[in-house]
Structure 1
């Protein structure tokens, strides 16, 4: 027993002095050999307490420091990325609205062009070969009348180079080719070809008629309608429409003012890199294609995107979208200074928090390292005691007992460590699967098998797989009702319920995603056909939805992907499944969407139902809520069966038309639901079902009509107050009547009399008589003027009608009234 004890103690001591932390092994040795080894050691057997303790403290300190640096860097980077994503989404929304505005303006101009081209007056101005000034002048006036209602039209030219006759509605004059003030259109007309016409409109600067200097130019977009492209260029006949560039510029400035800070700008360029709209008029037609960010945008294959650039020593975030007709690029430049302040504040706060945590970490590292070292130090002292006091045989049993306790403690701590590792295995596995799903991680077959074994993934990732994406319904309400901890627990509960039910028929892995998403990766039997799988899963999902609703009072919608046969296809499959889940807006809450459902959606693009939208706007203008609601449902029915993207695009265009038509009302402080309109116009993707969109629009319609009625009521009250004031001031004028007042107000006497009678219960003439009679009574009571003098001051004449009115109003005749007054 004594022999075995000394062997074990010697081996442990040697391992400790060499700084190794391996398992204790059995060796054969004798007591004399132990003494001999001890005597040959090149250093005295002193306790390595200080050296080992320092190493443990250093290791813990470095670990804590690196952990804090890594976490703080990750936190700052994520916050910065989130800020950048938010700016990008907001800018993209603004640019999309601007693009829709341009398309809307182009549609209005096209209608106006058709009106002009179909007008017989245009034909007279273009083709009449006789210079009959009476006929031409009459046609010009009528053409000018066509333009007047359209405030976005700058001018209209009719040009006949064969007859050398040019007519402009801007001046209402006739010109020859040599004396026409806009020589640019002459040159353009002689060089225009089929490609040029396809690029309409053409951004230009045109001089103002009889301008004092050449710098007095107007910025316009020009549309050219040639009678024929085959005509000789020097004898062409054309109609030219010039549209004010300020219309689009003012809209851009209005949208940009709501989000922009210092250093932010929205510009529009054509396909050559020339600026065709800018908040500064001086930048119009400025050639910007030498700018590096403009070259990047022009060379981009995507229709939209974002990137970082440096302008004049400052960093800018560039966001752009494109339009098909015209082929323009809408660009937003956002200075990093506008949002970097919040990121810097977060960086400073993070730095202080990290320093605080680092201080606490150092303190706890010191305490922890001492605690960890105590049993090791005791063991070292015991071993040293055996080597220096070999004659103390009575301690052998106690030493064994001590070593047993040490190993038990080590085993206990090792088990605790393994338990912690198992607890961390779930988030590690979830992160690994997330990276595979999002295409972040690339891995070969050999590494795949190793990772699957380490993480405990039992699916065959090279076999038939299908994704089942679950999305929480009413997610905004879910965020409002529960805090972060409760939300995590509820999502965990949903995952457990679904996992328990689905796992009865399929092997699966849960993948927790951000926001309202939970994904199940299912392994499918290769012999099972697609229809059978979808039918089986539909039944299981309905059971899970019922259980979640019963126990958690929540609901979710499910989307099933097409089969994939390799883990390399997971990223593309997830993107397609996520896009398919967007059709919950049509299918509704608690829906189950499959690739079969997607195939039922029409791929053909449904054009925007403009006639229904115009009927809706006209009904709102007239204050007919029922007709407006009916027109809205007709508008939505026209989009039945269209794609998700086309549906949202049409609804956003409708919201833009609402904003353009009722901008004054929507910006009015009386409008009590501005947040609803903001969601529709900028964050429409937050809506989960089409019913939510219906409810929001109907609420907006109701609020618009309410504000219109309120404004109308306030306007009537103001008019009534002004009429009463006029009567009080001018009652002495015996010619004062309803017609005289209506002429002063420049309003219809019938309308004015109607609203006055509705507000006061009396006609204007009755009210004038009442005011005059009240003043007559005051003068009778407080003066000694004669009846004629009193009547002259009150705008009345001494007639039988006056005496009749007086008796009817005061109950006695004028003479009796005077007698009663003298008595009192």
Structure 2
């Protein structure tokens, strides 16, 4: 192998450019690892925040549901006549007032029991300075000692809160019970009075902080708090440093994540806002948790970065050495074979370009020597252009120039010529290959001359037993000009040489690269010769699915039509059977412009119906007839739809003739008598093969066998057909219900009538009546 020590590291050498490129590529892993680190941090942060949000969302839902229950309870209490009626009591209280207070205290006990989230319920009646709970009666001074926001709140400030005309709000309080103090939340709601002159009353609900946060799921190293819109801390858990929580105004938006520094530590604060109360539910967690989760990922990223640089550096060295070795070998070979010397310190690519220029000059000399094979090579090139099989290593414009082909215009089309009749060349003398070559030579000259007259450029080539013409169309020419050109070539050869052509025309496309597509369109149009017939000019736009017609995606050959055809064939009625076949072909192939594959499928379906009808009749010799006619192979060997249709008609005629011949009157006396008996007794529900056998003195099995041998149909089917023929008359002429019509034609069970009618007609009686 070429040693790296001998590589010329001069500034003009390609190895310097490669080295810079490889080093640049090595920087990509560094950038990718940095991006991965940032994305991973965001993912960890999002997941932790999502976990915190789930906790505070759970707390929010639980507390809001309880608060809704308290607010509903306050409305119910405000409407309590006993509680609202005591507002009018004044001081001092009478005996009746004391008796009424006992009832109010009982009601408060009931309300408290109904909601275990509430620690205590008070009603403060301002007019009599009376405070009632479920346990005791006191006054505002004692209530002040029991419930106030903090120790610094004096009685005047406390009482001014309750002296408002209307109160409905929450407030944090300190609950003093038995010498101990507990954090709690107070919900106060005024009792509305009809008389605005009376002081009124206030219902007070006390909720301990422990119950408020009772449904909170514990989170490791996290503390939770509830702040109201006045930035008051309503409840908290997990820490005693309540002042560490952010202010209400710092938590903008409905929810989010912010960072706060407290006591020398970074804290991640997740929060959400209650839709009902406007409170902020806050969760605080040390930011070091993110660092703990990211520690393992950071190690992996830095190890990956180190390995990327190490392995990348080794690979850079190896590939630099490996990639330069072929360049060195190439330069050495070019220097040896071209006689050019590679100067030290020069650029390798410059030397290669110089050597290639010499090779191109030699190529021109070779091209001149190949001119003598120009026609054969030109034809091969045009075939490759049409089929899209050109050498990708040779530019197309160079090949066109080499073959002296000029296409000055932007748009292209392809014409295909198929010889249907040789005309004057049908005379004896010369083989088929010679005839084809002579006609193709004539076609080439006529087509190219007609193209010049039609303001187009044309080149022709033989391809797959056809002659192809590539038209380069000028902007002044239109698509009608192409069709006129094809018709002119077709008429000239037919008039002067009796040569009959089928010509296929592709669509017009922009760009030389679209010539293979145009050729495929021309092939598709030529294939449609099966439908159009020979000797036609067929444009791709005329095909089903082309520009002028909407393609038929399916053909119509419903079950009831197939059953009708089977019945006509069984009866040997060629006239009606042929009319029905022509009707199906007209409706699908002509009116729908059916595609070639679907047209074939339709005709094979019709042949299948004939075979099905023959199989259902019990006539001797039918298998020999099928082998003789061989309808499937006859249709497959037809080249055009007209030939297929004619073959179909001939097969149908032979089958119907065979059935008529097998059913001459001298052979079917018994069957005619049985058929007449069926027509006279079809309305009887008891009509069956046994009944008919008794009437004619024959066993049912013998009667059935003889009847099918003479008619080709089962006796039971004939009974059903006679009944159904009469039923169809009644359905079209009578307004009787279907069940009544079934009884009239011998069916006692409507389900049996529906099943047999659909079997023979392809539709139910109700659907048949709708169609009529």
Same fold (TM over 0.5): no
Which of the five TM-score ranges fits, normalised by the shorter chain?
Answer: 0.3 to 0.5
User: For the pair shown, which has the larger CA radius of gyration, 1 or 2?
Assistant: 2
Normalised by the length of structure 1, the TM-score is 0.36
